Amino acid sequence: MNTKIPFVTKEQVLDMVKKYPTPFHIYDEKGIRENAKAVKEAFSWNKGFKEYFAVKATPNPYILNILKEYGCGCDCSSLTELMMAQALGFSGNDIMFSSNDTPAEEYVYARQINATINLDDITHIKFLEDVASLPETISCRFNPGGLFTISNSIMDNPGDAKYGFTKDQLFEGFRILKKKGVKYFGVHAFLASNTVTNEYYPTLAKTLFETVVELKEATGCDIKFINLSGGVGIPYTPDQEPNDIKAIGSAVHEVYDEILVPAGLGDVAIYTEMGRFMLAPYGGLVTQAIHEKHTHKEYIGVDACAVNLMRPAMYGAYHHITVLGKENDICDHTYDVTGSLCENNDKFAVDRILPKIDIGDYLFIHDTGAHGFSMGYNYNGKLRSAELLLKENGEVIMIRRAETPKDYFATFDFSDILKDVDYNAGK
Distance CA 236, CA 280 (A): 9
Q: How far apart are CA 349 and CA 6, in angstroms?
A: 17
R_g (Cα) of the chain, nearest Å: 23
- 181 φ/ψ angles, rounded to the nearest 5 degrees: 105, 0
Question: What's the half-sphere exposure (Cβ side, CA atoms, 13 Å) at 129?
Answer: 12
- CB 362 within 8 Å of CB 288: yes
Q: Does residue 348 contact residue 309 with C-beta atoms inside 8 Å?
A: yes
Q: Which residues of 347-361 are buried (b: 16+ CB within 10 A; e: fewer)?
A: bbbeebebbebeeeb
Find, among 410, 417, 388, 391, the residue nearest to 400 by Cα: 388
Contact status, residue 231 vs residue 154, Cβ threshold 8 Å: no
**Residues catalogued as catalytic:** 342
User: How far apart, in whole angstroms, are the C-alpha atoms of residue 17 and residue 93?
Assistant: 41
